[in-house]
Amino acid sequence: MALQSTPNHTQTVSGWAAHDSSGKIVPYIFKRRENGVNDVTIKVMYCGICHTDLHHVKNDWGITMYPVVPGHEITGVITEVGTNVKNFKIGNRVGVGCLAASCLECEFCKNLQENYCDQIQFTYNGIFWDGSITYGGYSNILVADHRYVVNVPDNLPMDGAAPLLCAGITVFSPMKDCRLLESPGKKVGIVGLGGLGHVAVKMAKAFGHHVTVISTSPSKEIEAKQRLGADCFIVSTNDEQMQSGKRALDVILDTVSAHHSLGPILELLRVNGTLAVVGAPGRPMELPSFPLIFGKRAVKGSMTGSMKETQEMLDVCGKHNITCDVEVIKPDQINQALDRLAKNDVRYRFVIDIAGNFKL
Ligand code: NAP
Ligand code: ZN
C-alpha cells in the first residue's frame, strides 16, 4: 500500500499537482524524504512538459495515483549530498529523467540496463522503496538517489537541456540500439514531429544520416527542413506522398502520442527494416500482418534509456551542441501549456522555469 509520506519525510516542498482526471494543475505543498546517505538534494531549475505528463494527469493509461506531481525532464543544481555519494558535489549542474529506483540486483540492473528492471520505479507516479508515492519535477526541490542522476555538460543551457532527460534519451537509446551512432549514411524516418521527434531529427542529422520526417502537420515542413535539418518531409495523410516513399527507409522511429495504424508506416521501410516504437498511445495500435511479412520487417519498442546511456547521450549532445527547441513558461502557465500540448500546438517543448530568476 502506497503512503503519501513516511516519518522521515520532513522537507516541505512547493509543487504543482493534478488531483483528478480533469488534469487541472494547482499549487500543491507536500513533503519529501530527508536527504539519505545515497541521495542528493536538487534545487530544480527547469522541468520539461513531456506528453507522458499529459497522459498521466488525464489518466489516459488508467494508472494515475492522484494527486500526481508530474515532471521527469529535470535540470537543477545540487544543494546536499549523502555520505555514500562520491561522484557529485554541492553546486553541480545535474539532470534527472524518468527513473527513480530499480532493484540493483537483476540481470538488467547488473548489465547497466536498469530501465528494463521489472521492479523499476519512476520519478513520479511510482512507489519508492520507503513506500511513498514519488513526486516529479513540477516542484522546487527534488531528492534523488544519486544512481539516477547525471551531469549536464557545461556548454548546454539548463532550459534547452531539460527535455533531453526524457525526450532526448528516449530517442537516443533506440538509435544506438539500431547502430545509428556508428554507421552514418542510413535512411532514417521520424514519425511525429513533437518533443521526442524534433530532437530525434537533430540527433539523426548529427550522426550523419538522411532524415525523413513523417508528419500529420504540413505547417511543420519548412522548419523541419530549415531549422532542424531534415532532408525530406512526408505528410502522412497524403496518399501520393506515402506511396512515393515506399521501401525507402532503413530505420523508423515512431514517436506519435495518439492512436494510429503502423501499417502505412511499415510500408515506408525497406525489406528487413526496423520500426522502433516509442510513442505510447492509450489504445493499442493497429499492426496489420501484410506489410510485416511482405517486407520481413521488425517492430520493436524502447523504454527511455539506462543511466549510463543517459550520461552518454548528454555528453554526445554537449559535443554536437544539441539542445531542444523550447518555449519557457512560468508555473502559472502550466494548464495553458498542457492544453496547447493536447492540441499539438508547441514548437517543440514547453519547459517550466521553476526557479524563477535563479542564476547558477
Ligand atoms: P508531443 O510533443 O505531443 O509529440 C507527439 C507528436 O505526435 C505530435 O507533435 C504530432 O506530430 C504527432 N501526433 C499527434 N497526434 C497525432 C495523431 N492523431 N495522429 C498522428 N500523429 C499525431 O509528444 P512527445 O512528448 O514527443 O511524446 C510522444 C509519445 O511518446 C507520447 O505518447 C509519450 O507518452 C511517449 N513517450 C514514450 C517514452 C518511452 O520511454 N517510450 C518516453 C517519453 C515519451 P506531427 O504534428 O508531426 O504529426
Ligand atoms: Zn517523458
- Taking only the tens place, the pLDDT of each residue in 5-51 is 567 899 999 999 999 999 999 999 999 999 999 999 999 999 999 99
pLDDT at 60: 94
CB 286 within 8 A of CB 258: no
Task: Report d(CA 14, CA 188) in Å as an integer.
Answer: 42
Average model confidence (pLDDT) across the chain: 96
**What secondary structure letter does DSSP report for 332?**
G
CB 80 within 8 A of CB 101: no
Q: Residue 4 pLDDT more than 60?
A: no
Banded model confidence at residue 2, pLDDT cuts 50, 70, 90:
low
Q: How far are the Cα atoms of 14, 76, 125, 183, 232 from residue 95, in angstroms, in the given order?
A: 19, 6, 19, 29, 33
Q: Separation of 257 CA from ligand 1 center, angstroms?
A: 3
Choose the residue to mutate in 49, 51, 169, 261 for probing ligand 1, maximizing ligand atoms within 8 Å of C-beta. Answer: 51
Q: Residue 356 pLDDT more than 50?
A: yes
Task: Report d(CA 337, CA 151) in Å as an integer.
Answer: 28
Q: Separation of 21 CA from ligand 1 center, angstroms?
A: 20
List residues bridging with 246 in a β-sheet. none
Q: Residue 214 pLDDT more than 50?
A: yes
The 10s digit of each residue's pLDDT in 231-273 is: 999 999 999 999 999 999 999 999 999 999 999 999 999 999 9
Supply the residue whose CA is at minimum distance from atom 34 of ligand 1. 52
Amino acid sitting at position 295? G
Residue 134 in contact with ligand 1 by CB distance below 6 A: no
Q: What is the pTM of this model?
A: 0.96
- Strand 210-215 and strand 187-191: the pairing is parallel
- Is the peptide bond prior to 67 cis by the omega test (within 30 degrees of 0)? yes
Per-residue b/e over 290-313, b at no fewer than 16 CB within 10 Å? ebbeebebebeebebbbbebbbbb
pLDDT at 1: 44
Task: Report d(CA 135, CA 149) in Å as an integer.
Answer: 16
Amino acid sitting at position 297? R
pLDDT at 122: 98
User: Comparing C-alpha atoms, which of 60, 65, 57, 122 is closest to residue 96?
Assistant: 122
Residue 102 in contact with ligand 1 by CB distance below 6 A: no
pLDDT at 3: 53
**What secondary structure letter does DSSP report for 132?**
B
Choose the residue to mutate in 173, 177, 223, 255 for probing ligand 1, maximizing ligand atoms within 8 Å of C-beta. Answer: 255
Mean pLDDT, residues 91-115: 97
Q: Residue 220 pLDDT more than 50?
A: yes
SS3 88: coil
- Backbone conformation region of residue 289, classed left if phi is above 0, alpha if psi is from -120 to 50, else beta: alpha
pLDDT at 282: 85
Which atom of ligand 1 is the closest one to the Cα of 302? 41
The 10s digit of each residue's pLDDT in 35-94 is: 999 999 999 999 999 999 999 999 999 999 999 999 999 999 999 999 999 999 999 999
**What secondary structure letter does DSSP report for 231?**
S
Domains assigned to the chain: 11-163+325-353 (3.90.180.10), 167-301 (3.40.50.720)
Please name the helix (run of DSSP H) or strand (run of DSSP E) that holds residue 264, with its range, or none.
Answer: helix 263-266
Q: Residue 155 pLDDT more than 70?
A: yes
Task: Report d(CA 40, CA 233) in Å as an integer.
Answer: 44
